[in-house]
Amino acid sequence: MSFNLQIISPDESVFDEEIEMVIIPGTEGDIGVLSNHMPLITSLRLGNIYIYKDKKIIKKFLVNGGILEVFENRCTLLTEDISDSESKVISNDDELSKRKTEIASKQFYT
Amino acid sequence: MPSLKDLRNRIGSVKSTKKITSAMKMVAAAKLKRAQDNAEKTRPYALKMHEIVESLTSSGVAQVKKFGERNKEKKNILLIICSADRGLCGGFNGSIIKYTKKLSAELSKNSNLSYIFVGKKAYQTLKRKYEASIVEFFTDIANPSIKFELSSSVRDLVLELFLSNKIDECHLIYTEFKSAISQTVKSHKLLPIDNSGEIKKTKTYEFEPSEENVLNEIIPRNIAIQIHSGLLENLASEQGSRMTAMDNATRNANDMIDNLTLLYNRSRQALITSELIEIISGAEAV
């Protein structure tokens, strides 16, 4: 069973595909969303997003805050600060970029 | 009657002005395309954000106390004025300034006003008039394109002022882009959040952490994106306005060149004729 995940930033649509599962870093803890999830709105913290298809992680993003909305098998993630986990962290804020690099290198789920 | 040399010089200078205006028109057209593309890219984010906020505030479950209306007799109102950094764009900056003056005169009757300027032109004109009440001024906004960081820093400033009770209301003044030839100045209320609208339960969501926390998280984001799309639209309007202005200037230059060339040819012919008459009458006299 698959559902649609859309990740939108103010500058562009980052991701828009049919996927099986996504794990996102909610402010209260990580949330895994499968298809037919109940309507949900939650805020995000700094952390990794794992996107699953065919039981494998196909994409990993690093996100810093945002909003996730799940409604009728459509999952929309709005964030101002998102980057590919593989890409190098560029930031003026040293403390933040250090934490970002640290988190991006970690792999909590497989 | 100007001499032939004068006319030649004038035609030359009008021609070179025409070259500049037509080049500016092309540049503005290219920039307009880019500005429109950028505005288009932000739209899905802004729409979705609006949708979520709308469904939250209209469901009535979450009351936005923190960002809500304040009952005061004399309100402190903040105006964010978006203008261009450069001139030569027709009546674009002029109409923003005119609108600001009119709105300020209206509002200042029963409230205290303060201003944030984004873009140099309106600031330059209005800084004397409103000197005491200018909070902040941002320039060099679209170099090469409007960054989201700019909008977030404006948002941070606005929220800081609002939450420390220095302001009770905030309006964004920008130019709405309809087409390359038609733009209108608009004012859009950012704060306080209006939750007086009718309550309709459309979608029932589960919230994590709580409704209020989520809402407090969403609203600053929503304000930032509203400022951002306002700025993008303003930039598109600026380029559109410049394109039209430069198009008009080029056409005027063409008309002028035509007229001057006609005048030049006439006076040249008149000179030749009178020279001929002189020669003939001279020959007859001999």
Partners of A6 in the beta sheet?
A16, A76
**Is B286 a member of any domain?**
no
b/e burial code for range B126-162 (CB count within 10 A of at least 16 → b):
beeebeeebbebbeebbeeebbbebbbebbebbbebb
Q: How many domains does chain B have?
A: 2
Report if residue B285 sits inside a domain.
no
Whole-model pTM: value is 0.85
* Within-domain flag for B284: no
pLDDT at B110 over 90: no
Kindly state whether residues B267 and B156 are assigned to the same domain: no
CB contact under 8 A, B217 and A11: no
> Which chain B positions have a beta carbon within 8 Å of A66's beta carbon?
221
B129 and B239 fall within a common domain: yes
Tell whether the model's pLDDT for residue B195 goes beyond 90: no
Residue B20 lies in a domain: yes
Regarding predicted confidence, which is higher, B159 or A106? Answer: B159
In a shared domain, residues B74 and B213: yes
CATH number, domain at B269?
Answer: 1.10.287.80
pLDDT tens digit string along B229-276?
A: 999 999 999 999 999 999 999 999 999 999 999 999 999 999 999 999
Rounded to whole angstroms, the Cα distance separating B269 from A25 reads: 85
Which of the four pLDDT bands, split at 50, 70 and 90, describes residue B43? confident
| Residues B95, B50 within the same domain | yes
| B162 and B262 part of one domain | no
* Of B62-66, B71-75, B277-281, the least confident: B62-66
Q: State residue B202's pLDDT score.
A: 61
Q: Which residues of A touch B45 (CB under 8 A)?
A: 8-10, 78
For residue B12, the enclosing domain spans 4-26+245-277
Q: For residues B121 and B200, state if they share a domain.
A: yes
User: Is the pLDDT reported for residue B60 higher than 80?
Assistant: no
Say yes or no to pLDDT of B62 above 60. no
Mean pLDDT of successive 10-residue segments in chain A (110 residues)?
91 90 92 91 91 90 91 90 76 76 80
Indicate if B258 and B233 belong to the same structural domain: no
The percentage of residues in chain B with a pLDDT greater than 70, rounded to a whole number, is: 94
Nearest-Cα distance to chain B for A99, in Å, is 20
Contact with chain A for residue B210, Cβ under 8 A: no
The ipTM of this complex is 0.84
- CATH number of the CATH domain containing B232: 3.40.1380.10
Query: Is B51 among the domain residues?
Result: yes
Q: A9, B45: Cβ pair inside 8 Å?
A: yes
In a domain, B62, yes or no: yes
Three-state SS letters, chain B = CCCHHHHHHHHHHHHHHHHHHHHHHHHHHHHHHHHHHHHHHHHHHHHHHHHHHHHHHHHCCCCCCCCCCCCCCCEEEEEEEECCCCCCCCCHHHHHHHHHHHHHHHHCCCEEEEEEEECHHHHHHHCCCCHHHEEEEECCCECCCECHHHHHHHHHHHHHHHHCCCCCEEEEEEEEECCCCCEEEEEEEEECCCCCCCCCCCCCCEEECCHHHHHHHHHHHHHHHHHHHHHHHHHHHHHHHHHHHHHHHHHHHHHHHHHHHHHHHHHHHHHHHHHHHHHHHHHHHC
Task: Return the pLDDT at B237.
Answer: 93
Q: What percentage of chain B has pLDDT greater than the value 90? A: 52
Taking residues B141-165, what's their average pLDDT?
87
In a domain, B108, yes or no: yes
**Environment class of residue B203 by beta-carbon count within 10 Å: exposed (0-12), middle (13-18) or buried (19+)?**
middle
Residue B152 resides in a domain: yes
Scan residues 230-269 of B and list those with Cβ closer than 8 Å to A: none
**Is the same domain home to B81 and B169?**
yes
- Classify strands A21-26 and A29-33 as parallel, antiparallel or unpaired: antiparallel
Is there a single domain that holds both residue B234 and residue B208? yes
- The chain B residue lying nearest A78, using CA atoms, is B45
- At residue A33, the pLDDT reads 93
Which of B61, B155, B204, B218 best probes binding to A when mutated, by most A CB atoms within 10 angstroms?
B218
The residue-averaged pLDDT of B133-151 equals 85
Q: Note whether B227 and B257 are same-domain residues.
A: no
B34, B21: one domain:
no
**Same domain (yes/no): B46, B102:** yes
